Structure 1
Amino acid sequence: MSTTVDWLRTSTPGLLLLCGAAIAVLLIAIIRFKLEPFIALLLTGLGLALVAGLPVSQIVGTALKSGDSLLETGFGSILGHIAVIIGLGTVLGAILERSGGADVLTAKLLNLFGEKGAPVAMGLLGLIFGIPVFFDIGIFVLAPLVYVAAKRGGRSLVLYALPMLAGLSMTHAFLPPHPGPVSLGGLLGVSLGWLIVMGFVCGIPGFIAAGIVWGSWIGKRVHVEVPDEFLVGKHDNRSEEPDGEADGAAGGGVATATLVERPPAVALIGAIIAIPLILILGATFGSQLLTAGSKPLQVLTFLGTPAVALLITVLIAFYVLGIRRGSTVQELGAVTAESLRPVGMLLLVVGAGAFFGKVISATGIGTALAHTMAAAGLPVIVLAYVISCGLRIAQGSATVAIVTTGGIVAPLVHEQGYSQVALALIAMAIAAGSIILSHVNDGGFWIISKFFDLTVKQTLQTWTVLETVLSVVSFAVAAVLFAILA
């Protein structure tokens, strides 16, 4: 008996079996027995930690100190990053929606691309927004526009959300200044310029295949209505103006809840959305162009911190979309309170998902799997992709998969003397592997499930497949180019 237990806890096949069983139990609990995901994730994570033989002090800490435990660091590692951002992004979205601004901007996009091209417009928004901002921040900022587009179009929320998510995911995985690609630049010794070039070359075909082709196909088969609470108010059926703009929000105005009678100009809404992007970009490029520790860099870093940038944007939106247009502070407070009501469960589910991923990582499966694959004798670009895929599937974090794989592959590529182009393509293979098969141990999986009102089964059918298509197509482009150019 003890031999079997030791095998499960220490060998790569045993750890794979153990983690696979935990994931299966989690899916059955949520899909078959309809257990609330927050409870299911917490129970399964604790159960896996105990069965894997992790010390109780590591799992939950001690009676006197628990700050370093997997339970608290699992929740805290992601909630410390996203809780403030989710809250501010939700409030900003509510102000944009209540003022009629989100509807006006979406109407302009629909007029530009046409009703059939609306998903493409959402995808382009994801690509553009995704370059300077993190994946989750992009979701928080763009989700209100997706809700309004889906409500106006009268079609599934999935049809509009997936192209946007594909754009955000592609930029996050393949392009600097995101942490994964930047880390690969240092680990593999490849310039950020080549990473940007190859990121677009490999990532754009994947984005088209996953976001536009797959998103359009599955969006017609998985129908999800936009819940009223996502739009922060009940909607009437006012008619649209001749130029395509609606007199109000989300398909015709918000009855008794709109902050102002007349929607703002598109240019004003575009400027408000651009504020956090400009501030974050300022911090990003300032860190590369200015002297470390200098006063200007400190100012840019402070203003460009995502939470600070969003707070500044919310305050500006309060003034220009609310107070300056006749709203009172009390009305703005009511909008804020109403918009934040659904946030609590979202944060709990995302935190529990991060805890579950942390437990899987602590079992050691990722390290064991990576070293086993490294000994398989595959071509370096295939090896890089397979290791990255294994790490992503095992522990959920794309950035962790990228950094860990880069560290394993770096000594191999340094010995071969590859060109900058070849190194950039190897980096793209690692990036492609890091996004494959997003599932229940990935915090992003739960963010998307809650933000777009998807069941676990629907999230697996839509988002998980999207990430896999994006991964496989982008890797295929990198592998073909590597065979030609390396």
Structure 2
Amino acid sequence: MFLAAAPQPRRGGLLALIPGTPGLLTVAALGVALLLFLIIKLRLQPFVALLAASLAVGLAAGLSVTELFGSVQKSDVTSLVEGGMGGILGHVAIIIGLGTMLGAILEVSGGAEELSSRLIGLFGARRAPLAMGLTGLVIGIPVFFDVGIFVLAPIVHAAAKRTAGSVLLHAMPLLAGLSMTHAFLPPHPGPVAAAGLFGVDLGWVILMGALCGLPAVLCAWAYAAWIGRRVFVPVPQDMVEAAAAAKAAVTTDDRSPGTAERPVPLPTVLTVIGTPLLLILLATFSSLALEPGTLRSVLEFFGNPFAALTLALLMSYYLLGVRRGWSRASLEAVSAASLKPIGNILLVVGAGGVFGAVLRGSGVADALAGTFDSAGLPVIVLAWLIAVALRVAQGSATVAIVTTAGIVVPLIDGQDLAQPHLALIIVAISAGSIFASHVNDGGFWMVAKYFGISVRDTLKSWTVLESVLSTTGFAVAALAGLLF
């Protein structure tokens, strides 16, 4: 996707010993095995592991140093490493950065807490788990999964204390909503990166992600209700106290002294969250429903993800910040602090782009495409299975998505698939990337820590919940793929 043409593999490297397709498939298998070994056994940072595996695959497939890194004599020639890294980051870096800052403003302003509190008040104590689930769905759109846990865990603890019920009964629906939006919907890194690799409009990814994700969440909520009534987990008092202290520190450090303490109006929160999604969807469908003209151009401009998220961020600055007494220094401090954690995400996504570019440039991807095609399984099924295998083996959903996308993109070259069908393949990959979260996944330990759940009970609740989300989301995507 990033390079105009894939160079033919040389007969050096491993191909000198095992020529042809068998040699290329061996290179692919050894490359993935090396990647998993570096991440799982050596615990190498995924960015470094992806780069190392990419270079090993390229050398084993017989690519020259010039093809991998370029040449100082030919500065106009794009190397596989530069093309893979720059091609994907040019698409996703701005979106992830804007989305991260938007989520931070929503978090620190108290908008997330106000939304969940209002939902609990609306549904009542008996239906508090449903309120928690809806909170996770809405807040999960602009807020990263781990940030959502940090912001909303105190509300889960309060709801569990109020009803004297198990923490699982309230936490699992919330986590289902956060996990679904994080895996299936932009502006989260996984679906955005996959959309860039496949060349799919984000509007279609949003639509198909919601179409497949909502039934998956409903099934996950049903399991959450079942397990929450059978496994009792008390409220972890130490986490309640720690969350209260952290919130007090944020208020003191990041808000100006004149900040109003009144609750954020719920319509304001929904407006800030819903505006970029609505604009992106309008732009996507204006190209289908409207003839070229001024109205369509305006919709496509404001519906471009860059413009839509920039507008939403500026709205949040004013509606959630300036109007509530924030100083410009406070806005800058919150925005800058929110960008610090995403450096690792962007590097991993970029390295995944390098891995995919090397697979294509070496000819390994074409060999994989031919082999998978002869297997007779639909691409959407293969995409899910590959993502599941990578997820279970190494734990990171983002690594599973970008690696799987690099393998799957060549399988669809020349098939002229429609944008909706490509979006469904992305959903299948995203669904596979969250299957069976267990002890090699940082999210597993975050859930166990923040909600005071034992390892055994986390496996029975969170791990199974993620598997329900994954399989249901994939099943809906596979069925929808028959229609598009």
TM-score by length of 2: 0.65
| 2:80 counterpart residue number | 70
Q: Secondary structure at the match of 1:54?
A: coil
Query: Following TM superposition, by how much is the alpha carbon of 1:322 offset from its aligned partner in structure 2, in angstroms?
Result: 2.0
Equivalent residues in 2 for 1:74-473, closer than 5 Å: 74-112=84-122, 114-117=127-130, 120-122=133-135, 124-125=137-138, 138=141, 144-154=147-157, 160-167=174-181, 169=183, 200=211, 205-209=215-219, 213=223, 236=244, 254-258=251-255, 260-262=259-261, 263-292=263-292, 294-375=293-374, 378=376, 382-386=377-381, 388-389=383-384, 434-435=429-430, 437-438=432-433, 472-473=471-472
> For each residue in 1:69-93, what CA deviation from the matched residue of structure 2 results, as whole angstroms up to 9, or x when unmatched?
2211221122111211222222222
- The RMSD of aligned alpha carbons is 5.2
> For each residue in 1:371-405, what CA deviation from the matched residue of structure 2 results, as whole angstroms up to 9, or x when unmatched?
334445x5xxx545455557767995577778765
**C-alpha separation between the residues in 1 aligned to 2:90 and 2:199?**
22
**C-alpha separation between the residues in 2 aligned to 1:429 and 1:273?**
24
**C-alpha separation between the residues in 2 aligned to 1:425 and 1:39?**
34
Is the aligned partner of 1:32 residue 2:41? yes
The verdict on how the C-alpha distance between 1:346 and 1:396 changes in structure 2, with shifts beyond 3 A counting, is closer
Q: In the alignment, is the contact (CA less than 8 A) between 2:12 and 2:62 conserved in 1?
A: no
Query: Following TM superposition, by how much is the alpha carbon of 1:408 offset from its aligned partner in structure 2, in angstroms?
Result: 7.1
Q: Relative to structure 2, which stretch is displaced further, 270-279 or 386-395?
A: 386-395
Q: In the alignment, is the contact (CA less than 8 A) between 1:209 and 1:470 conserved in 2?
A: yes
| 2:450 counterpart residue number | none
Q: In the alignment, is the contact (CA less than 8 A) between 1:432 and 1:472 conserved in 2?
A: no
> For each residue in 1:17-40, what CA deviation from the matched residue of structure 2 results, as whole angstroms up to 9, or x when unmatched?
322322222223233323222222
Counterpart among 17, 22, 30 of residue 26 in structure 2: 17
Q: In the alignment, is the contact (CA less than 8 A) between 2:14 and 2:62 conserved in 1?
A: no
Give, as a single letter, the amino acid of the residue that structure 1 aligns with 2:27.
L
TM-score by length of 1: 0.65
Query: Following TM superposition, by how much is the alpha carbon of 1:334 offset from its aligned partner in structure 2, in angstroms?
Result: 2.0
| 1:50 counterpart residue number | 59
Identity fraction in percent: 32
**C-alpha separation between the residues in 2 aligned to 1:215 and 1:59?**
52
Query: Following TM superposition, by how much is the alpha carbon of 1:265 offset from its aligned partner in structure 2, in angstroms?
Result: 0.8
**C-alpha separation between the residues in 2 aligned to 1:271 and 1:426?**
30
Q: Relative to structure 2, which stretch is displaced further, 20-29 or 94-103?
A: 20-29
The verdict on how the C-alpha distance between 1:481 and 1:307 changes in structure 2, with shifts beyond 3 A counting, is closer
Query: Following TM superposition, by how much is the alpha carbon of 1:315 offset from its aligned partner in structure 2, in angstroms?
Result: 1.5
The verdict on how the C-alpha distance between 1:18 and 1:216 changes in structure 2, with shifts beyond 3 A counting, is farther
Q: Secondary structure at the match of 2:129?
A: coil
**C-alpha separation between the residues in 1 aligned to 2:353 and 2:221?**
25
**C-alpha separation between the residues in 1 aligned to 2:29 and 2:134?**
38
**Aligned pairs, number:** 408
Q: In the alignment, is the contact (CA less than 8 A) between 2:54 and 2:355 conserved in 1?
A: yes
Q: Relative to structure 2, which stretch is displaced further, 315-324 or 430-439?
A: 430-439
**C-alpha separation between the residues in 2 aligned to 1:251 and 1:309?**
32
Query: Following TM superposition, by how much is the alpha carbon of 1:465 offset from its aligned partner in structure 2, in angstroms?
Result: 8.7
**C-alpha separation between the residues in 2 aligned to 1:477 and 1:9?**
41
Q: 5+ residue gaps in structure 2?
A: 1-10, 158-166, 391-399, 435-440, 448-454
Q: 5+ residue gaps in structure 1?
A: 130-137, 185-191, 229-233, 238-248, 412-422, 440-447
The verdict on how the C-alpha distance between 1:158 and 1:52 changes in structure 2, with shifts beyond 3 A counting, is farther
The verdict on how the C-alpha distance between 1:85 and 1:110 changes in structure 2, with shifts beyond 3 A counting, is farther
> For each residue in 1:150-190, what CA deviation from the matched residue of structure 2 results, as whole angstroms up to 9, or x when unmatched?
34325799874444333565578xx9xx979x999xxxxxx
Q: In the alignment, is the contact (CA less than 8 A) between 2:116 and 2:132 conserved in 1?
A: no
